[in-house]
Amino acid sequence: MAKSIQTVASTWPDVHRPSQSHTRAQKSAARREAILAAALDEFSAQGFAATRIDDVAKRAGVAKGTIYLYFHDKEELFQELVRTMLVPHVSALAAAQPGERPVRDLLESFFELFVREIYGTKRRNLLRLVMTEGPRFPKLAEFYYHEVVERALAAMRVLIERALARGELKNEALLQFPQLLVAPCIVAIVWSGLFDRYAPLDISAMMHAHLDLLFGARKPA
């Protein structure tokens, strides 16, 4: 049901597999990426405060001091991490593609994308990290609000309006709270951090249930 996603996905920067690099600048960039990748693992496993620069360095295969050549301090590393590795993806999600297709199909694509590119990857942890540490990093939260949330909500509103216009949706309630449209994403992130070991969640199914609730159940093909 989400055939159009590939195109979008393929245009994303692949932050995790820097190509072989030979120039100084390329090497430097690769190193930066390696540090960020290591930081992602450590921060999302331990949280900001409990993560040790030492461990990030070890995981990145560089010396501790090297990290300070690329990032001014631990906090900057953290903020850079979140900005660099999450924003492009979330922005892509937010950039909902208009067109003639039914809005429900678009949303299905959207959720598929979310599941595959965020939830099914380490970025899930990063997203949780934003929720976890955001309150203590107002700058980060503000950045996120403006760079991601505002835009995403605006995009959602566009979709909702079209759905209302097309008669796919009857209820205007969503227009006021587009958050409700993405609520299952939040739930999935939170749930996976806490309860996955006790009761793993079939998040794709949940997304469909969510859409069924909003748009009415689909007739089985």
Partner DNA sequence: TATGAATGAGGATTCATTCAT
Partner DNA sequence: GATGAATGAATCCTCATTCAT
Q: Which residues contact 206 (CB under 8 A, 6 or more apart)?
A: 184, 187, 188
For residue 183, what are its two tokens? 């609520």
Binding mask 8-47 for DNA (x = CB under 7 A): ----------------x--xx--x----------------
Q: Pick the piece of the chain touching DNA (CB under 7 A) from 49-57, 106-114, 156-164, 165-173.
A: 49-57
> C-alpha angle 44/67/24, rounded to 5°?
120
* 34 versus 118: smaller Cβ distance to its own copies: 118
From the list DNA, its own copies, none, which binds 213 (C-beta under 5 to 8 Å, kind-based)?
its own copies
Contact track, DNA, 68-107, x by CB under 7 A:
xxx--xxx--------------------------------
| Residue numbers at the binding site for its own copies (CB under 8 A) | 46-50, 128, 130-136, 138, 141-142, 144-146, 149, 171-174, 176-177, 179-180, 183-184, 186-187, 190-191, 193-195, 197-199, 201, 205-206, 208-210, 212-214, 216-217
Give Cα separations from 41 to 44, 216, 219 (angstroms). 5, 40, 42
> Do 34 and 67 contact (CB within 8 A), yes or no?
no
Shortest Å distance, C-beta 44 to its own copies: 8
d(CA 57, CA 39): 8
Q: Name the residue nearer to DNA (CB basis): 139 or 197.
A: 139
The candidate with the shortest Cα–Cα distance to 76, out of 144, 3, 140, is 140
Count of beta carbons in the 10 Å neighbourhood of residue 218: 11
Q: How far is the CB of 7 from its own copies (least distance, A)?
A: 29
Site for DNA in 103-132 (CB under 7 A): none
Question: How near is the Cβ of 205 to DNA at its closest, in Å?
Answer: 40
What span, in angstroms and rounded, lies between the C-alpha atoms of 102 and 80? Answer: 37
Cα–Cα separations (whole angstroms), residue 218 to 109, 182, 184: 16, 20, 19
To DNA, the closest distance from the beta carbon of 21 in angstroms equals: 11
C-beta of 76: minimal distance to DNA in Å? 8
Decide which of its own copies, DNA, none touches 2; Cβ closer than 5 to 8 Å per partner kind: none
